[in-house]
Amino acid sequence: MTILAALLLIFSAAFFGPAAAKYLKKSSGWVLALVPFTVFAYLLSFIPVISGGDVVKESWVWVSYLGVNMSFYLDGFSLMFGLIVSGIGTFIMIYGGGYLAADSNLGRFYFSILLFMGAMMGVVLADNIVALFIFWELTSISSYLLIGYKYEKEDSRKSALQALLVTGSGGLALLAGLIILSMITGTMEISEMFGQSGLVAEHPWYLGALILILIGAFTKSAQFPFHFWLPGAMAAPTPVSAYLHSATMVKAGVYLLARLNPVLSGTLEWTYIVTGFGAVTMLVAAWLAIAHTDLKKVLAYTTVMALGTLTMLIGMGHEYAVKAVAVFILSHSLYKGALFMVAGTVDHEAGTRDIRFISGLRKTMPMTAAFGCIAALSMAGVAPLLGFIGKELVYEAALSSVSFPMVLIGMAVLANIAVVASSGIVAIRPFFGEYKEYNNKHVHEAPLSMWIGPGVLSVLSILFGILPFLIDTAIISKAAGAIAGTPDLVVSLKLWHGINAPLILSIITLLSGIGLYLVWNKVRESGAVQAYDRIMGQGPVKGYEGWLNGTLGLAAAQTKFFQNGYLRYYMLCIVAFFVVLVGYTMLVKTDMIIVADFSDIYFYEWTLAGVIVIAAFAAVFAGSGLVAIAALGVVGYSIALLYILFSAPDLAITQVLVETLTVILVALVLIHLPQSKVKVSMGSKVRDGILAGSLGLIVTLIMLAVLNTEFDPFMTDYFAENSYVVAYGRNIVNVILVDFRALDTFGEIVVIGVAGIGVYALIKLGKKVITKKEGTTA
């Protein structure tokens, strides 16, 4: 098996999802779970290789001359992510099968979630930036389908579109950033960029690439001020939230930052932007969590807080921070995945997930309650769970930050106090206290499929907490080393570090958090927290909606203005732009020296020119169309006279004929047209006048320039010399027509012949239509 085969396995399974839902019914989730589990087992087999210090690369040529390959890169970090994606994915398939067992669209769920799973695996394993981007956008699209799963609800359609627009646009910014990065480094493989951080940092495009990539990562990982889409995405069915919005998709941004850390970090811009946005997100989101009573909303905000923490740690970039990133990603995925599933189970069984209406469920659903509590303890950072180790490391990293350590640790502690309170909200409120039913719905324990996932994940939280050596050399060391860009980093995790600053801070956090939980109801209802939620929680949503509506409004206004359907208006625009473009080009590109020589112009030529000008003005100011046509006719005949004066009788005849025909035709048309009732205002007359004048000016300038160039007598001489010698004709014009340009003339005859056939067909058609009409009326 290869990595590509593993991905294809998941993608092809997606297409069997609907069939599985139809024919396997209840067991479909269990069967489909075999797919991610196979991949999980396959990835586990790499642990000896990876922890031995090797990396695995795989590459298939895709578009060779562009350097785009379908290539994969497996090191400690992508392995850890791959294990999370496939491991939690296994339980999500089982859980989803139970959760949506009664839903008629279960097949669609399987399809979308497997599609997403494949894409997410692609994101964490891809080495080529184009491949990475493609998988990245696929996660956005599949998440759109998943959030909009209950499409009959307006709310879920809106949230789905919101999530797609935010993450999708971010994805495109990311593509631009990645392409710039590949231009700088000259390679499309991330693994080949690793050695070039110095080159990248000094490049003038560095900041541009950095900002674009950060936009991509921040939108995906819901960093402030894009944090609003994640709580909105809670409209998705809970299995989706548990998978996408806690453990996998939202971590893609963090994954990318960590992946590119060896390439992009080490500059002040990186440190300040990444740390800053991460820290602000962490603090803002943590306190937004306690303003809500919807279990999933609370969890969503704590997830945003965790993502902020990770971003902050990546921004710091020193050894402690990197270790903390690796541990925190794992611990968070374990407890948050479990908690979301528990919240979903509660919702499923009790009919609501608003904690104001439910309590005391521990007696009726003991398994769910137990696992929920364990996961919540891990989230609160209570020893001996893995969450405790994670939080200790976060504190340690903040304390040893190079810049502003005191500010960062303050923010971290404040944020974690809120998280402790949130843990209480999600694990104590629903399960303890007096038994309360919502809408008299009888509550009982969920089926095995719905508690096995949280069960395994929370047991792992305990196991890894008590026996951290199980993972530290096998997974965490290499993951942290890959993030830092120093593969031989050694991490040894311990539960007990002795009494030190992080421990004291942990105890403070825990006690304050419990305190906050006890007064939570009052705090939540207080004006300050509500106002805070309006500004920080709803504010960005308003901003997004304002931006969306503003864009649409602008587009509408612009359409009304430019695309009003009037032909005359279109002409006006085209002439105006023509004047600007051509005039500008001529002004800039040429020196515009035009020598006008009026010495050999006779008075009758001046007179004719005068008549033309006067007639032109008369045409413009004429009251009726007929007068204008007559005036234009005067212009045309005067030009014919000019031709005669310059001894070109053939041209003059043509001109007279065409002019006569035009005047008669236009006059005929005008007689049949209704009188225009539109009054043209003075302002628009002046505008049209200026425009027409400048168009005339440009054409005149070109004419003068043409006159200024030297006349090339080549063609004239050629015809004069050869018409008698070669073609035996004395009338040069005739000779040109029938001899030198015989093919042209032949072509003209062909055209007339073709036109004749056309006319014939049309005449026949006229008859046909008439007979047809008679037929239908009769």
Q: Are 262 and 314 in contact (CB under 8 A)?
A: no
**What is d(CA 40, CA 363) in angstroms, rounded to the nearest whole number?**
35
Is residue 651 a contact residue for other proteins (CB under 8 A)?
A: no
> Between 157 and 318, whose beta carbon lies closer to other proteins?
157
Piece of the chain touching other proteins by CB under 8 A; list 39-47, 168-176, 637-645, 661-669: 168-176
CB 495 within 8 A of CB 468: yes
Stretch 725-764 residues interacting with other proteins (CB under 8 A): 754, 757-758, 760-761, 764
Tokens 């628009």 — which residue?
684
8 contacts other proteins (rule: CB under 8 A) = no
609 Cβ contact partners less than 8 Å away, ≥ 6 residues apart: none
Return the range that interacts with other proteins (CB under 8 A); candidates 80-88, 510-518, 565-573, 664-672.
Answer: 565-573
Per CB under 8 A, 488 contacts other proteins: no
Question: 38, 51, 105, 169: which one contacts other proteins (CB under 8 A)?
Answer: 169
- 578 makes contact with other proteins (CB under 8 A): yes
List Cα–Cα distances, 162 to 224, 234, 539, 643, in angstroms.
16, 12, 15, 69
What is the C-alpha separation between 224 and 417, in angstroms, rounded? 20
| CB 160, min distance to other proteins, A | 8
b (16+ CB within 10 A) / e for 692-729: eebbeeeeebeeeeeeeeeeeeeeeeebeeebeeebeb
The dihedral sign for the CA sequence 229, 379, 483, 210:
positive
Minimum CB distance to other proteins smaller for 201 or for 370: 201
| Contacting residues for 308 by C-beta, under 8 A, at least 6 apart | 223, 224, 277, 278, 279, 280, 281, 282, 283, 284, 285, 415
The nearest distance, CB 714 to other proteins, in angstroms, is 8
- Span near other proteins by CB under 8 A; candidates 164-172, 326-334, 439-447, 667-675: 164-172
Q: Which of residues 671-710 bind other proteins (CB under 8 A)?
A: 701-702, 705-706, 709
Task: Identify which of residues 127 and 392 has a Cβ nearer to other proteins in the complex.
Answer: 127
- Considering the complex, what minimum distance in angstroms separates the CB of residue 737 from other proteins? 18
Does an H or E element contain 487, and which? none
Please give the residues from 102 up to 161 whose contact with other proteins meets the rule CB under 8 A: 130, 133-134, 137-138, 141, 144, 148, 151-152, 157, 161
Q: Which of residues 173-232 bind other proteins (CB under 8 A)?
A: 173, 175-176, 179-180, 183, 205, 208, 212
- When asked if residue 585 is in the footprint of other proteins (CB under 8 A), the reply is yes
Single residue of 44, 172, 367, 648 touching other proteins by CB under 8 A: 172
Distance CA 219, CA 253 (A): 8
Question: Contact 253/338 with Cβ under 8 angstroms?
Answer: no
Binding segment (CB under 8 A) for other proteins, from list 73-81, 162-170, 302-310, 646-654: 162-170
Nearest approach, Cβ of residue 217 and other proteins (Å): 16
Would you count residue 765 as binding other proteins (CB under 8 A)?
yes
Given 15, 469, 577, 646, the residue binding other proteins (CB under 8 A): 577
Strand partners, 71: 59
In angstroms, the first-to-last Cα distance of the chain is 76
Minimal distance, residue 150 CB to other proteins, in Å: 10
Amino acid identity of residue 163, one-letter, is A
Residue 563 in contact with other proteins, rule: CB under 8 A: yes
Among 582, 611, 626, 628, which residue sits at the site for other proteins (rule: CB under 8 A)?
582
Binder among 15, 60, 562, 604 for other proteins (CB under 8 A): 562
Of residues 531 through 560, those in contact with other proteins by CB under 8 A are 551-552, 554-556, 558-559
Among 12, 590, 684, 734, binds other proteins (CB under 8 A): 590
Say which residues have a Cβ less than 8 Å from residue 463's Cβ, sequence separation at least 6.
470
| CA dihedral for 274, 275, 276, 277, sign (positive or negative) | positive
Site for other proteins in 43-102 (CB under 8 A): 62-66
Distance CA 370, CA 384 (A): 16
CB nearer to other proteins: pick between 577 and 621 = 577
Among 102, 499, 528, 567, binds other proteins (CB under 8 A): 567
Residue corresponding to tokens 């990396």? 55
Taking a C-beta distance cutoff of 8 angstroms, is the pair 55, 98 a contact?
no
CB of 732 to other proteins, least distance (A): 21
Q: How far is the CB of 391 from other proteins (least distance, A)?
A: 37
